[in-house]
Structure 1
């Protein structure tokens, strides 16, 4: 993926909280047994505490940590800031807006693909409960999750979603402080913005964080003109409907990358380290 904004990271964390928590739906990918190294990690420690707590409350719960989504070599290099990889990635996916409609089964396109996530074994348990039992189970699960996060991470979390929200907020705060005001990035932002303006793109703000999300937000606004899908999120577009928009998006994404070549070389490793810092703070739960 191209260097993701704080907004993108926040959205992803919240989506993962839903998809990888109890109650997530279809996800046929197999679950690999945790290794000895895995089970010593904070996320697994929380799960073991949670399972013991659920047992004490009279519920069955299987410790489960969703494995990370697989990345292609191209995605890995793009995330790390390799210019050639970023260019190749954007040549196919643009800013990952309309590409999600053209390639709906490809997680790299920006599409949220449930099948890319491992099956949570607790879904089967939840599926066997009636409404009253389901509510009681979720209340117990949230309480036990809070117990685990307090013991392992020293963080109160009323639910998995709550913890994901805290992660998103911390990501946004650190991004605002360490990236938006970074002197080198601020200096590189000026020629980046001037180049975009010369190519005819509107540049409302010249802050580093605003420049990073500028293109994505512009095409997200175009996507929103199609309304909302049945689930209230992204509109339902066929690949044929989305392709002309993706073609324009790809051109804009490549222009953005060319104008911001020096900027992204400095921004991407800094943003990657910041995201890893937040992930460590939250024990790799997401």
Structure 2
């Protein structure tokens, strides 16, 4: 079973692409190391750096060595999520191969945008050198220090970085509900998109704009999440408002069958939603960017 958390950067793709869930291409900052310099500094990146420095100081106070570390941002490129560009043909080409970008991580693990190798985290080696008992104490201290640092920097009460990502996603969805579902033109276009999807044999459960935008990805995400829960009962139930989930272990043939179905659904979604997404994307992008700038790490 592979965990898929949805950091805010991924939530942006979800909001823009009609996906209800997606894969994270970098781990949440619970396992992070030495601040990496980047060519541009953003409030979000500065906050992540600050959290790491505070966490290292806290860990030192608890008797553990911890190296502040921020994973480098994945640069945009021609292979980055084309759904963010508004180019219909580019998005169609993406969806023809990757669907919504959910189960495709199981088939094209090394080809997905942003899935290149990550730098080694020095804290992994530090933790692995400890005894089993010390590792448990280290993990407990790590979560406590991370929670403390995130609260100081963002003002949010969280248990760790994964919980922070989940709560930011909930904030994004709450704001999207307010601004997207109340737009009369989006309401009209979402209803038309839902009618189109029904004619293609899909059972739509809502015609609210945000529900329609997220419906296709949520269908696949929920299915994979429940398969993962079947193998690991400790996994919590799927939460559609969180935009995060878990991927199960599937054989190559099983993963391919899921992806083929996802691709068909994603292409129907794109065809029926061509007019809807043209208006929805810039509005959703603005909402996600605003929440990300305020609370994201």
Work out whether the TM-score is over 0.5.
Answer: yes
- The residue aligned with 1:21 is 30
- The residue aligned with 1:166 is 167
**Residue 186 (str. 1) matches residue 187 (str. 2):** yes
- The residue aligned with 1:48 is 53
Q: TM-score, normalised by structure 1?
A: 0.78
Change in Cα spacing, 1:231 to 1:185, as seen in structure 2 (3 Å) is: same
215-224 or 253-262: bigger deviation: 215-224
- The residue aligned with 2:293 is 280
Distance in 2, Cα, partners of 1:252 & 1:95:
9
Query: Unaligned 5+ residue runs, structure 1?
Result: 25-29
Change in Cα spacing, 1:138 to 1:38, as seen in structure 2 (3 Å) is: farther
Change in Cα spacing, 1:181 to 1:196, as seen in structure 2 (3 Å) is: same
What SS does the aligned partner of 2:67 have?
A: coil
What SS does the aligned partner of 1:73 have?
A: coil
Deviation, 1:43, is: 1.1
Change in Cα spacing, 1:165 to 1:193, as seen in structure 2 (3 Å) is: closer
123-132 or 67-76: bigger deviation: 67-76
Change in Cα spacing, 1:8 to 1:243, as seen in structure 2 (3 Å) is: closer
Change in Cα spacing, 1:130 to 1:169, as seen in structure 2 (3 Å) is: same
Provide the aligned length of Structure 1 versus Structure 2. 270
Deviation, 1:93, is: 1.1
Within-5 A mapping of 1:15-164? 16-17=27-28, 20-22=29-31, 33-35=36-38, 38=41, 41-108=46-113, 116-164=117-165
Change in Cα spacing, 1:268 to 1:123, as seen in structure 2 (3 Å) is: same
- The residue aligned with 2:243 is none
Match of 1:258 among 271, 275, 288: 271
Distance in 1, Cα, partners of 2:187 & 2:87:
21
Note the aligned Cα RMSD (angstroms): 3.4
What SS does the aligned partner of 1:75 have?
A: coil
Query: Unaligned 5+ residue runs, structure 2?
Result: 1-12, 234-245
What SS does the aligned partner of 2:247 have?
A: coil
